[in-house]
Amino acid sequence: MASAVMNMTTAALDWVTVVFDAPLARAVVFGVHIDGHLVVEVLLVAVILFQLTRKSYKPPKKPLTEKEIDDLCDEWVPEPLHPPITEEMKAEPPILESAAGPHTVIDGKEVVNFASANYLGLLGNEKIADSCITSLEKYGVGSCGPRGFYGTIDVHLDCETRIAKFMGTPDSILYSYGISTIFSVIPAFCKKGDIIVADEGVHWGVQNGLYLSRSTVVYFKHNDMASLESTLEKLTHENKQAEKIRRYIVVEAIYQNSGQIASLNEIVRLKEKYRFRVILDESHSFGVLGNSGRGLAEYYGVPIEKIDIITAGMGNALATDGGFCTGSVRVVDHQRLSSSGYVFSASLPPYLASAAISAVNYLEDNPSVLTQLRSNIALLWKGLADILGLAIASHPLSPIVYLKLKKSTGSSKSDLELLNIITDRVLKEDSVFIVSTKRSVLDKCRLPVGIRLYVSAGHSESDIHKVCDSLRRVAALVLV
Amino acid sequence: MTVLLPIPPLVPIPPLAVPGEVRRMVRLTYLTALTTLLGYVVFFVFGFLRDLFRELLDWSKSDDLRGYAPICPPFEDFYTRRIYHRIQDCFARPIASAPDAWIDVVERYSNDNNKTLRRTSTASRCLNLGSYNYLGFAAGDEYCTPRVIESLKKYAPTACSARADAGTTRLHVELEELIARFVGKPAAITFGMGYVTNSSIIPVLVGEGGLIISDSFNHNSIVNGARASGATVHVFRHNSPSHLEEVLREQIVKGRQPGTHRPWRKILVIVEGIYSMEGEFCKLPEIVAICKKYKAYVYLDEAHSIGAVGKSGRGVCELLGVDPADIDIMMGTFTKSFGSCGGYIAASEEIIRYLKHACPAHLYATSMSPAAVQQVISAIKVVLGEDGSNRGAKKLAQIREGSNYFRSELKKMGFVVLGDNDSPVMAIMLYNLAKLPAFSRACLRQNVAVVTVGYPATPVLLARARICISASHAREDLIKGLKVISEVGGLVGAKCLPAEPEKAKKMD
C-alpha cells in the first residue's frame, strides 16, 4: 500500500519534472530556453507585480470638521479646581497676638509655647532687635531686586562671610527663604542621569528638589545604615557606568518628620568607600548640635571638608528667615549662576541678614545657651517618660521631641484626629501650645504621625513641668 | 587620568530662530542677527582654545578627584567660565544703601582677570534705574517705617514656625483680608517668598492628568511649578490669543493619550500681567474670553503689575478692564511695588480653604516675617488713601507719567524700545553681547546704574538693557538718566532707528 503511494508520488514528480524541463517552443529568446518552469515563474512575477500596485489598506481617516471640534469642546467638562471642602479643611490654626517666644498670647490668654523652633531662645533678644532696627532704618524692608541686579546689599556679603567663618568653610551663599534652599541646591548639582540615594523620611522641600532634578532617586529605610549600605552596594556593584556619573547621598541632620539624628560617621565611611558625595540639610541642627553649635559634623568630630554640600534654613535656631548653603569654593560659586531660587528670586530682606549676623555672634559668644538647651531636653524626656499611650520616638539630643501613639489606630488619618483632639484640649484647658504632624497631599513621606514639641533654651523648668503634667492628664482622658 | 576634551556646551541653547512676530517687535534685521552670532562664535572659539591650553597645562598636575565624577562637568559651566566671567563686573553689583532712586554702588576690583571680585570701601552715588521699586517704598517711608519698627518690637523678626503651626499672627490675618479686598477677590493666602508661591501652588491645583498651557515667556518659578506638578505642559506663542485657541482646541480633541482620547482632568492657562523682560502687558481680555469659551482655568501672575499699573494700582485687570471674578487664581508678589517680600494668591473662599489645607509652603515653610507683613499693610493703606493722605494717588500718577515720558524720549532718540504705554518696565535692545558690558560700564562711569541682561535670561540674539522707573524718580533724575543713556547709546551704536531731529537737538 505504502509502496503504491510512493510509486504514484514518484511518477507524478517525474511527470512534473519532464513538463518543467520540456522545451515549450523550439525557440531561444535571448539565449534562454523557453521551458515549462518559465511559465510558472512568469505567473508568479505577474502576481507579485499585481499586489504591489494595489493600495495598502488604511482605515479611512477623515479630519474632524470645525463643527465636530466645537461639539467635542462643548462636551468636555473639567473637574473643579478644588475637591469638596470637608470639615477638617475648615480648621484654623491659633492666632498669636505677641512674639512667638517661650510664652505667647493666644486669644488674650498667656500660653506656654512649645510650637516654635526657637531653639536658642533668641526671639525677643534685645541685641538682635536693635540690629534689625538699625538695618530697617538704613535699608528699608525689602531689597527690591534679585542678587544679580542691585539686590546684593553689603549686609548679604557680610552675612555670607560670617557664616562661612563660623562653619569653617571657604564660602557660603545666602538664600531668601528657608524651604527654597534645598530645592534649589539639589537641581543645581544633580541633573538627568545622576544617581541620588536619599532617606525615605526627608521633608517635602528635599522631595521637591529630588523630583525637579530628574535624576534617578533611590530611597533607603529611614535612618537605617545597613539599608543604606546595601543600596549603595547594589547600585555600584559591577556598574562601570556608575563611576562616570555624579552620585549623591541626601540626608538631614535632624529629621523634621521624626526627630532622629543621622549617623554621620557611618555615612562618611560609606561615602568614601563607594565614592558618593553627601548633601546634608542642617536646618534643625545648626546652632544646636556640637559643643559650639557648629552642627552635626562637630558633634561627630568629622572634619567639615568631608561633607560636600551643607544647606540649612535659618528660621530655627538663628531666629531669622532665609537659608544658606556652604561648601567648597567650587560648590558655592556654581550656585551663583545655576541655582534657580537664587538667580530668579529677590534677595533676602537686609534686616533679616543683620539678624542672622547678630545671632551667629551671640552663639559664638555664649556657648552656655547650648548646655541650657540640652538640660531642658533632658528634663522634658524625664517628664514624658511615663505618659499613657504616647511614646517618645526621637533621638535624646534632638530639640524636636516627637511623641507617637503607642498603639496606632491603623490609619494615619484617624491617628491624626486623635492627636489633634489632644493638642486642642491641651491648649484650651491648660494653656500649653503644642502641635501635631501636618502632612500635605503632595508629601510622599510615610513615617508615622505624632505630636511635636520644640524645646527652647528659653523655657524655664516650670514650663517643662507644666507641659508634662498637661500631656499626662489629657492623654489619660483621651487615650483610654 | 581621564582626559576631558572640550566638548561643545550641552546647555540647552534656545533655538536661534526667533519667531516672526517677535522679530518684527524687536526689529531684528538679518545683519544684526548675523553679526551677533559671529560675536558668539568668536567667544566660543577663544573659549575652546583656552580650555584646550588649560587641559594641556594641567596634564601633569595630580588628579585630586580620586574616583569621583567632577561635581561640575566642564561643558556645563563653559558659558560661565569663558563668557560670563569676562563681564562679571556688570552683574551682582553690591550696594551700600537702600535700593532707592539714588544708590551707593560699591566699587570692586579684580586681581585675576575678573574671575574673583573684591569689594573696596569706596562707593559711588549713582542713579538707580534697575531696582524694582515701582512705588518708591524701598527706603524708609514716613507712614510705613514707624509702624514696621513697632511691629518688629512686638512680634520679633520671625515666628520660627510654619503658618499652620504657630506662625499665624493678627498681622497675617489682617494682610490676607486687606490684599483680598485690594485685588477684588473673596479671600487670599500669603507666603514668605514669591518664587515658592508659584512652585508650591501649581502642583496642588493641577496634578497628573491635567494640562497646563503657559506662555512661552513665563518666569522660571512658573516653569518649575508646572514641572513639579506632574501635569502635561504645553506652551503657546508669547501673547498670542489665536495660538492659545489653536492649542486648546487641539488638546481637548486629542485628550490625555493619543490612542484612547481620555479627556483631560482640567486645563490651567498661566499668563503674567507684565512680562518683566519685555515690559509689555498680556492681552488679558482676549485670553480670558477664550478660556471662558473652552472652560479652562486662568492663573494670572501679577508679580510686576500689582500696585504699579491701573488707576488705583489694582493691576492689569483694572488697566485692561477685566473683571477679577473672571480670573480663577490671581497671584502676585509684594517685593516689587510694596517694598517688602513675599507673595500671595487671591481666589474664591473654597480654593483658599483647600490651599490652606494642602499647600506644602503653608504647612512647612516659615511664615512671613511680621515686620514685612506690616510693611505691606501700610503700603497698601497708602496706595488706597486710607492713611489719610493722597500720597498713594500722587505716586501712581508719578510713575505713570515718568515711565511714559522716559519711553517716549528714548524712542525719539532712535533706540529700539520694548514695552507698552503705562508700563514702568522698558527694554532697550542691544542685541550684541559685546555691547552689554560697554553700555553697563560706560553708564556706571557717569553714575547711572543700569541693568543689562543677556542669555540665558533672554533669547540668544536679543540682549538688552532693562529700565525700571520708580515713583521716587524726580523729573530731573529722569532727564539726567536720558542724557547719559543717549550719550552711551550713541557710543555703542544702539540707536538703530532714525532719531527725530528737532527733539534730538534739544537733548544736546
Per the CB < 8 A criterion, the answer to whether B165 and A93 are in contact is yes
Counting Cα atoms < 13 Å in the Cβ hemisphere of A199 gives: 29
Contact state of A144 with B96 under an 8 Å Cβ cutoff: no
Q: What is the pLDDT of residues B289-322, one digit of tens each?
A: 999 999 999 999 999 999 999 889 999 999 999 9
From the list A95, A141, A443, the residue facing B360 with the nearest CB is A443
Instruction: Write out the DSSP string of B420-441.
Output: -TT-SEEEEEEESTTHHHHHHH
Lowest mean pLDDT among A21-30, B207-216, B391-400, B471-480: A21-30
The mean pLDDT of A442-466, rounded to a whole number, is 91
Instruction: Report CA torsion sign: A260, A265, A266, A272.
Output: positive
Q: What is the pLDDT of residues A164-201, one digit of tens each?
A: 999 999 999 999 999 999 999 999 999 888 999 999 99
Contact state of A351 with B224 under an 8 Å Cβ cutoff: no
Across all residues in chain A, what is the average pLDDT? 89
Contact state of B92 with A152 under an 8 Å Cβ cutoff: yes
Residues forming a β-bridge with A254: A261
Distance between CA atoms of residues B431 and B21, nearest Å: 17
Contact state of A78 with B265 under an 8 Å Cβ cutoff: yes
Q: Is B310 left (phi over 0), alpha (psi -120 to 50) or beta?
A: left
The whole-angstrom distance between B186's CA and the closest CA on chain A is 16
Closest to B291 in 3D by CA, of B314, B316, B270, B319: B270
Tell how many helices (H) and how many strands (E) occur in chain A: 16, 16
Q: Which residues of B touch A352 (CB under 8 A)?
A: 157-158, 369
Lowest mean pLDDT among A268-282, B228-242, B253-267: B253-267
Distance between CA atoms of residues B466 and B276, nearest Å: 9
pLDDT above 70 coverage of chain B, percent: 92
Distance between CA atoms of residues B345 and B330, nearest Å: 6
Residue A179 is classified by DSSP as: H
Res A55 pLDDT > 50: yes
Across all residues in chain B, what is the average pLDDT? 87
Which comes out higher in pLDDT, residue B60 or A372?
A372
What three-state secondary structure class fits A468? helix
CA distances B175 to A42, A139, A144, B81, B145, Å, are 91, 23, 20, 45, 17
Contact state of B169 with A136 under an 8 Å Cβ cutoff: no
Q: What is the pLDDT of residues B327-380, one digit of tens each?
A: 999 999 999 989 999 999 999 999 999 999 999 999 999 999 999 999 999 999
The pLDDT, as a whole number, for residue A400 is 93
Closest to A333 in 3D by CA, of A212, A190, A179, A172: A172
Residues forming a β-bridge with A218: A197
B202 φ, ψ (degrees, to nearest 5): -60, -40
The pLDDT, as a whole number, for residue A60 is 65
Determine the residue of chain A that is closest to B365 in CA distance. Answer: A179
The pLDDT, as a whole number, for residue A12 is 85
* A277: confidence class by pLDDT, cuts 50, 70, 90: very high
> Mutation test of the interface with chain A: which of B107, B118, B124, B165, choosing the one with the most A Cβ atoms within 10 A?
B165
Lowest mean pLDDT among A56-70, A260-274, A294-308, A421-435: A56-70
Q: What is the pLDDT of residues A92-114, one digit of tens each?
A: 899 999 998 899 999 889 999 99
Res B206 pLDDT > 60: yes
- How big is the A-B interface in CB pairs under 8 Å? 345
Which B positions 357-376 lie with beta carbon below 8 A of chain A? 357-361, 363-366, 369, 371-372, 375
Burial pattern B429-444, b for ≥16 Cβ within 10 A else e, equals bbbbbbbbbbbbebbb
Contact state of B160 with A316 under an 8 Å Cβ cutoff: yes
The pLDDT, as a whole number, for residue A23 is 61
The pLDDT, as a whole number, for residue A57 is 74
Res B165 pLDDT > 60: yes
From the list A89, A133, A321, the residue facing B158 with the nearest CB is A321
Closest to A398 in 3D by CA, of A269, A273, A257: A257
The mean pLDDT of A281-305, rounded to a whole number, is 92
Q: Is B92 left (phi over 0), alpha (psi -120 to 50) or beta?
A: left
Determine the residue of chain A that is closest to B204 in CA distance. Answer: A442
Which comes out higher in pLDDT, residue A385 or A173?
A173
Res A90 pLDDT > 90: no
The pLDDT, as a whole number, for residue A412 is 86
Per the CB < 8 A criterion, the answer to whether A379 and A466 are in contact is no
Per the CB < 8 A criterion, the answer to whether B399 and B478 are in contact is no
Q: Is B18 part of the contact surface with chain A (CB cutoff 8 Å)?
A: no
Contact state of A344 with B219 under an 8 Å Cβ cutoff: yes
Q: Which residues of A touch B84 (CB under 8 A)?
A: 337
CA torsion angle B174 B177 B181 B187 (round to 10): 160
Q: Which residues of A touch B175 (CB under 8 A)?
A: none
From the list A140, A247, A441, the residue facing B339 with the nearest CB is A140
Distance between CA atoms of residues A408 and B203, nearest Å: 31
Burial pattern B103-129, b for ≥16 Cβ within 10 A else e, equals bbbbebeeeeeeeebeeeeebeebbbb
Q: Which residues of A touch B357 (CB under 8 A)?
A: 88-89
The pLDDT, as a whole number, for residue B504 is 45
Contact state of A149 with B451 under an 8 Å Cβ cutoff: yes
- Which residues make Cβ contacts (< 8 Å) with residue A105, sequence separation at least 6? A96, A97, A98, A111
Contact state of A83 with B67 under an 8 Å Cβ cutoff: no
Q: Taking the model in full, what pTM does it have? A: 0.88
* B13: confidence class by pLDDT, cuts 50, 70, 90: very low
Per the CB < 8 A criterion, the answer to whether A404 and A448 are in contact is yes
* B218: confidence class by pLDDT, cuts 50, 70, 90: very high
Distance between CA atoms of residues B462 and B14, nearest Å: 11
Q: Is B148 part of the contact surface with chain A (CB cutoff 8 Å)?
A: yes
Res B494 pLDDT > 70: yes
The whole-angstrom distance between A30's CA and the closest CA on chain B is 56
Q: Is A397 part of the contact surface with chain B (CB cutoff 8 Å)?
A: no
Res B200 pLDDT > 50: yes
Contact state of A204 with B128 under an 8 Å Cβ cutoff: no
Contact state of A440 with B360 under an 8 Å Cβ cutoff: yes
Q: Is B297 part of the contact surface with chain A (CB cutoff 8 Å)?
A: yes
> Mutation test of the interface with chain B: which of A75, A81, A152, A256, choosing the one with the most B Cβ atoms within 10 A?
A81
Lowest mean pLDDT among A402-411, B145-154, B476-485: A402-411
* B219: confidence class by pLDDT, cuts 50, 70, 90: very high
Which comes out higher in pLDDT, residue A390 or A24?
A390
The pLDDT, as a whole number, for residue A411 is 86
Q: Is B447 part of the contact surface with chain A (CB cutoff 8 Å)?
A: no
Res B505 pLDDT > 50: no
Q: Which residues of B touch A277 (CB under 8 A)?
A: 68, 71
CA A477 remoteness from chain centre: 37
CA torsion angle A368 A371 A377 A379 (round to 10): -100
The mean pLDDT of B488-495, rounded to a whole number, is 87
CA torsion angle A92 A98 A102 A107 (round to 10): -50
Which B positions 387-446 lie with beta carbon below 8 A of chain A? none
Distance between CA atoms of residues B247 and B232, nearest Å: 13
